[in-house]
Structure 1
């Protein structure tokens, strides 16, 4: 098949974006690679219905502005999540409303993955309600940082790249968000990830 990029280039998102400037159809590879994860992340924050639109708009926006992407970067993942976070941020009221409803009822499958990582002393239902209330009370910036780390497994550097903020800001926002969540959960923090993110943020 003529025009097919080499296998090593297919693993390099920067190369894919570069190729797409001349062959727009090449951009579909990034959609195939990242759309399921973007959709899952958006669904956890806004629900399945909104996730369809967020995912579509993320890749439409990325395609339109792809010439601005730094093709020296191997991964487009932080860039795409940054676009998605911006789109999700525009629906902040919808997200907060859903979280506050969850805080009242204490039942939601989204929170279950967090609760599984909580201290065993925290009951699942109580943790879900408290967690939702705590997350709803975060500022938009703090919530973006917390959820990119907790749900997308981003390193501090990836969060910084996605949101176009310094690593120091990522660290301070995450620490502030974790303190609020931990207080709401009586000291347990199901959003805390391993120190790998911290280690990879240095240097």
Structure 2
């Protein structure tokens, strides 16, 4: 005859564990208005992505700009209004606005990269180069092309390539309509392709 094993007393096991969901970015920023410490997790969640974007665009000064970005965000947290795309585009918007004070420095960086770009790196097809701009191995002609783009067009192109933002998020970052994002991105890609392959100029004019 099989011996029955005693069943554990549920009361002795204690209450079941509670599963708390993490607060959303919007909840954190709203809570931080009265409890400033609640802002800290936003830095933990988004600082790496914002720093990567800044570093690709401007190089070593990204460290200082990252701190400035979150300082501005902290000071303006009470003015934050949800636009339906989350807090991350708001942070990228602050970072992009700060970059505008360093436009000349950014353009000098691209020109310097164009001068020292490694010639041994095999050139990628034009469309691939435009769609996936690699800051670690910018082609000489691609770096030069970025330096000549209008600031607004360059912002849209690099928020797409390096910020990995959607059209709707970029529209929120730059406070422009989605249609303007599309037209700027189209123009930036077209001008960059022409800079990478001058033969396309002849094709377009024919």
* TM-score category of the 2 structures, normalised to the smaller one: 0.7 to 0.9
Whole-Å separation in 1 of the counterparts to 2:83 and 2:150: 32
Correspondence list, 1:29-178, <5 A: 29-47=41-59, 49-71=60-82, 73=84, 75-107=86-118, 117-118=128-129, 128-178=139-189
Tell me how many residue pairs correspond in the alignment: 172
Q: Is the 8 A contact 1:46 1:94 kept in 2?
A: yes
Q: Which runs of 5+ in 2 are unaligned?
A: 1-18, 131-136, 199-206
Cα deviation for residue 62 of structure 1 reads 0.3
Secondary structure of the corresponding residue to residue 139 of structure 2: helix
- Cα distance 1:13–1:127, how it changes in 2: closer, same or farther (>3 A)? closer
Q: Is the 8 A contact 2:50 2:95 kept in 1?
A: yes
Match of 2:32 in 1: 20
Using structure 1 for the length normalisation, give the TM-score.
0.76
Q: Is the 8 A contact 1:13 1:74 kept in 2?
A: no
Q: Is the 8 A contact 1:130 1:185 kept in 2?
A: yes
Using structure 2 for the length normalisation, give the TM-score.
0.75
Q: Which runs of 5+ in 1 are unaligned?
A: 1-5, 120-125, 188-203
Whole-Å separation in 2 of the counterparts to 1:145 and 1:138: 11
